[in-house]
């Protein structure tokens, strides 16, 4: 009967496996769409990394009626000049209006871009750190239409700094979020999205209020998904690792700054965050420590159970990595350390938020 203690780990691992099999995927190669598609690229101080993203957008194929709209959001570097040098008149380059009261920067930039691309039937928001394969946009539009959803969130393969914590997002979706139930459910609370790349039906986006409905949201991607659900639309996640990469952070300090900006907004409240963090620590950080202590003090059977719990957590990370083109080994062995670092980042985000000192790209959050 002692083995019954492993039920939570077994159930979560099984759920991860099932989700990995059900996960929608953006196919690589050969896609074609006849729809009028607008790719929307908001930029603020991205002169040093917009090049690969923009070149990839200019190389898209399978979308004969494609427009690329770029907005320079009051950058203080040479972002606009870099765009002009790379693309010339091949893109529509807009200068961002001053930020109105009550708006955060990215939602307002996205709103301006969506308003400009008013004739498109599909709009696709892309961040400057994303590089798309040549058929990526056509393939994502095809998946959007086949699934019949209003908003598709194709999640890229994440590269760059942060091997300990970056894979936790895909892992958390596959482990805790019932993906197909999320698609069917009208509940706004059951929603997830990754803002690095979003593909939306233009009409459904407008019905939901667009980015005006999420004007002050730090996590505007999740907020937009919830707004679409509230308006009667549907959302879906998809693995886009075969056709998209994203170097979100190039250094540990930049990762800490990015997570500090947004993690506090992910849980609704500090007590809610505390419950989630403590649960994760108990499930995924404590088992190896418990195994060592129990075995050292002669409790072999309980020590083995704790070791098995740890191995189930490792196995869940491996399944996630295999499903999303991530790095399985040796990173999966460090799952307890990943959870511990994540817990520290959550605590830091709430601490900095309470002090009122959060900024991003030169603007207060």
Q: How far apart are the C-alpha atoms of 211 and 23, rounded to whole Å?
A: 27
* CB contact set of 127 (below 8 Å; sequence gap of 6+): 41, 42, 53, 195, 196, 197, 246
Question: Residue 290: CA atoms inside 13 Å, Cβ hemisphere, count?
Answer: 19
- DSSP per residue over 41-66, as a string? EEESS-TTTHHHHHHHHHT--S-SSE
What share of the chain has pLDDT > 70, as a percent?
98
* CB contact set of 96 (below 8 Å; sequence gap of 6+): 44, 71, 72, 73, 74, 108, 109, 112
CB atoms within 10 A of CB 118: 10
Tokens for 332, please give them. Answer: 């999966």
* CB contact set of 111 (below 8 Å; sequence gap of 6+): 210, 211, 212, 215
What is the pLDDT, as a whole number, of residue 360?
65
For residue range 51-104, what is the model confidence (pLDDT) as tens digits? 999 999 999 999 999 999 999 999 999 999 999 999 988 999 999 999 999 999
Domains of the chain: 2-18+264-364 (no CATH), 21-248 (3.90.550.10)
What is the pLDDT, as a whole number, of residue 364?
67
Its pTM stands at: 0.93
Is the pLDDT assigned to residue 363 strictly greater than 90? Answer: no
For residue range 225-280, what is the model confidence (pLDDT) as tens digits? 999 999 999 999 999 999 999 998 889 999 998 999 889 888 878 999 999 999 99
Q: How far apart are the C-alpha atoms of 311 and 9, rounded to whole Å?
A: 9
Assess whether the previous peptide bond of 330 is cis (omega < 30° from 0).
yes
Assess contact for 151 and 199: CB atoms under 8 A: yes
């Amino acid at each position: 009967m002692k083995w019954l203690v492993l039920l939570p780990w077994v159930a979560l691992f099984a759920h991860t496996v099932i989700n990995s099999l059900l996960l929608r995927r953006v196919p690589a190669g050969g896609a074609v769409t006849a729809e009028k598609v607008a790719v929307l690229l908001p930029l603020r101080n991205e002169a040093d990394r917009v090049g690969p993203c923009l070149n990839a957008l200019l190389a898209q194929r399978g979308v004969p009626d494609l427009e690329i709209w770029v907005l320079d959001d009051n950058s203080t570097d040479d972002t606009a000049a870099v765009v002009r040098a790379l693309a010339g008149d091949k893109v529509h380059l807009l200068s961002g209006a001053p930020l109105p009261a009550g708006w955060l920067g990215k939602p307002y930039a996205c709103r301006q871009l969506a308003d400009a691309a008013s004739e498109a039937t599909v709009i696709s928001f892309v961040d400057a750190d994303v590089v798309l394969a040549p058929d990526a946009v056509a393939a994502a539009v095809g998946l959007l239409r086949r699934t019949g959803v209003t908003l598709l969130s194709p999640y890229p393969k994440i590269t760059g700094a942060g091997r300990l914590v970056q894979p936790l997002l895909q892992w958390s979706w596959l482990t805790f979020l019932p993906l197909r139930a999320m698609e069917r459910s009208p509940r706004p609370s059951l929603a997830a999205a990754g803002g690095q790349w979003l593909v939306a039906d233009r009409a459904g986006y407008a019905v939901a209020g667009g980015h005006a409905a999420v004007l002050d949201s730090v996590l505007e991607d999740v907020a937009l998904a919830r707004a679409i659900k509230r308006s009667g639309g549907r959302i879906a996640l998809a693995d886009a690792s075969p056709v998209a990469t994203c170097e979100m952070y190039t250094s540990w300090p930049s990762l800490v700054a990015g997570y500090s900006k947004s993690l506090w907004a992910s849980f609704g409240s500090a007590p809610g965050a505390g419950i989630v963090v403590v649960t994760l620590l108990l499930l995924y950080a404590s088992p190896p420590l418990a195994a060592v202590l129990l075995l050292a003090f002669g409790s072999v059977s309980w020590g083995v159970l704790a070791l098995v719990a740890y191995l189930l957590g490792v196995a869940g990370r491996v399944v996630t990595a295999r499903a999303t083109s991530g790095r399985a080994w040796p990173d999966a062995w460090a799952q307890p350390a990943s959870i511990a670092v994540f817990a520290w980042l959550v605590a830091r985000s709430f601490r900095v938020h309470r002090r009122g000192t959060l900024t991003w790209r030169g603007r207060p959050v």
